[in-house]
Amino acid sequence: MSSGAISVLEMRVLDANTVYLGIDSRILMENAGRGVAQVVLSKWPEAKRILVVAGLGNNGGDGIVASRYLYNSGREVVVILLGKVSDLTEEPAATNLKICLNLLGCRILEARDEIELLAYQDYFVKWADVIIDAVFGIGIRGRIRQPASAAIDLMNMSKAPKVAVDVPSGMDPDTGEVTDKAVKADVTVTMHRAKRGLVTEGAKQYVGELVVVDIGIPREAELIVGPGDLLHLNYARRPDSKKGDFGRIAIIGGSREYTGAIALTALASLVTGADLPIVYAPHEVAHDIRSQTPNLIAVPLEGEVLSRDNVGPVLKGIERANVVAIGPGLGLERETMEAVYIILEAAGKLGKRVVIDADAIKAIGAGKRLNLLRQGMVLTPHAGELRELIGVEVPKATPLELGQWLTEQVSRCCQGSVVLLKGNVDVISDGSRFKLNMTGNPGMTVGGTGDVLTGVLATMLHRVNDPFEAAAIAAFVTGAAGDLAALELGYHITPLDVVNKIPKVFSIFKNSKEVVKEAIHKPLREYLSRRGLLNG
């Protein structure tokens, strides 16, 4: 795990994945608050009176936990809460506030507005030996409203040393910029790893001394794909969205032997959220797809297989597509492999993101055409296909060892592309990072589930900025859909069963129903709500 500074998004991913791994968020807050208290006690051991200025979020919760430890150490502690006690409802901060209220010596003063806060100004200016800033943390954006604005002014007016929790309140944690005002801390105690804004040029005047506290986030939270990774995906849609805004996917595959693979890829892409998955397939395959479902668009290519002679419509489709997926059911005729090289070269020149699967991977390996790979391309081999691609046998190793091995191989062979190595534990690497996906089950050995993954990944490549994270999320979603299908049906699942469970995965891990509710026009939403039908 890198020791470098991280973004707010990366920190939130780690928090969510830590909870997924079984470490309760209450433990993280407890460790954070204790860490802040320990810094205060070590740097100002003679300080007797500690003022904690707490906001209504989890940063305030960290400060409240710190106040408990400081009280237990014999210090006199006052917490000024910027709002009413009843306003702090976010967990686990709310629970920690209740605990503090039960302690006889822990004083909580409510400051619901600037006037009430100014009534306590002597605590800032005359009383406090040390002030703990626990107002915003990493949640700040834009102009600061009252009473937080006045609280920052009062903290900066005080001659008492100031300790910021995670980030000085008012500073952008990603950029280090201060657009309005920020606390000028003597010490900033940041959690797990420094946030990027804290180490930027010019941040020192606000950050002071930077102390990083270990709050118990395990290494696996960064290595194992979990619900936190889905934070990279913005599930919501704009009210003014139109057809095509959420992905035009060109899907190329199919042959006389394999007619179903490409249809599964397109269906998975559609169900995952792409607007227009368009299949380019040989004539008979395209007509089979058209006859089976009205949900898919299939463009027929002359001939029984993809070839140099019929690649023209595909190249035109690629120009309009956001993402290209190639490989499912293609076959390995010589003319097909030549067409694959033409398509990948064209997609690379256009800067398109591409999923390369199945026979397209084999074609690259057979022709020794690794030079066609570019940044933004993702390959999805199993162990045998990876061997054919790079000429090296996948070793028998632990998941961690396999992740390190794959990272070395990708850095040597694949020019910034991402490789998603499918297996009992999926390994995803871009040559500098790797992640491990632990969703999926033995029932997914049925033919066609890899084609489903390709479709999910194609959509994710359009919806997620980082292709590495897109691949990780696709592996997690597809595996979780397979797990839900197996729990319901046992080891009697089909690829379509996996496709049909994809929406359920999003309802569990992205709370998709709540997002959709907000997009329904207000009159209908309120009508359904009045009749108790909105949650039905």
Which residues, other chains included, contact 397 with Cβ-Cβ below 8 Å and sequence gap of 6+?
405
List the alpha helices (DSSP H) in 73-135.
Answer: 93-101, 114-118, 121-122
Tokens of 200: 């930027």
Q: Which residues pair with 211 in a beta bridge?
A: 189
For residues 38, 44, 45, 46, the Cα torsion angle rounded to the nearest 10 degrees is -150
What's the CA gap between 29 and 63, in Å, rounded? 9
Q: Tell me which residues of the chain have a pLDDT lower than 70.
A: 1-3, 141, 536
- Which pLDDT score, from 0 to 100, does residue 253 have? 96
3-class DSSP assignment, residue 87 = helix
CATH code that applies to domain 8-223: 3.40.50.10260
CATH code that applies to domain 227-233+246-519: 3.40.1190.20
List the alpha helices (DSSP H) in 306-376.
Answer: 312-320, 334-350, 358-366
- Which pLDDT score, from 0 to 100, does residue 536 have? 57
- Which pLDDT score, from 0 to 100, does residue 2 have? 47
Selection from 317, 325, 328, 264 nearest residue 459 by Cα: 325
* H, E, C per residue of 432-473: CCEEEECCCCHHHHCCCHHHHHHHHHHHHHHHCCCHHHHHHH
pLDDT in tens, 373-408: 999 999 999 999 999 999 999 999 999 999 999 999
Judge contact between 462 and 250, C-beta under 8 A: no
Which residues, other chains included, contact 511 with Cβ-Cβ below 8 Å and sequence gap of 6+?
none
- Which pLDDT score, from 0 to 100, does residue 251 have? 98
Which residues, other chains included, contact 376 with Cβ-Cβ below 8 Å and sequence gap of 6+?
351, 352, 353, 354, 416, 417, 461, 467
What's the CA gap between 346 and 336, in Å, rounded? 15
- Please work out, in degrees rounded to the nearest 5, the angle formed at the alpha carbon of residue 246 by the alpha carbons of 244 and 250: 65
List the alpha helices (DSSP H) in 195-307.
Answer: 204-207, 220-223, 260-272, 283-292
- Which pLDDT score, from 0 to 100, does residue 517 have? 86
- Which pLDDT score, from 0 to 100, does residue 461 have? 97
Phi-psi bin for 54: left (phi > 0), alpha (psi -120 to 50), beta? Answer: beta
pLDDT in tens, 2-45: 458 999 999 999 999 999 999 999 999 999 999 999 999 999 99
- Which pLDDT score, from 0 to 100, does residue 532 have? 85
Judge contact between 90 and 59, C-beta under 8 A: no
Domains 8-223 and 227-233+246-519 alike in fold: no
- Which pLDDT score, from 0 to 100, does residue 393 have? 95
What's the CA gap between 426 and 440, in Å, rounded? 9
- Which pLDDT score, from 0 to 100, does residue 1 have? 41
Selection from 389, 378, 471 nearest residue 417 by Cα: 378
H/E stretch holding 3 reads none
| Bridging pattern class, strands 353-356 and 323-326 | parallel
What's the CA gap between 85 and 81, in Å, rounded? 7
Does the model's pTM come out above 0.85?
A: yes
| Bridging pattern class, strands 209-213 and 248-252 | unpaired
Judge contact between 66 and 52, C-beta under 8 A: yes
Judge contact between 33 and 25, C-beta under 8 A: no
Q: Which residues pair with 428 in a beta bridge?
A: 420, 435
Domain residue limits, the chain: 8-223, 227-233+246-519
Which residues, other chains included, contact 66 with Cβ-Cβ below 8 Å and sequence gap of 6+?
33, 34, 36, 37, 40, 52, 132, 134, 165
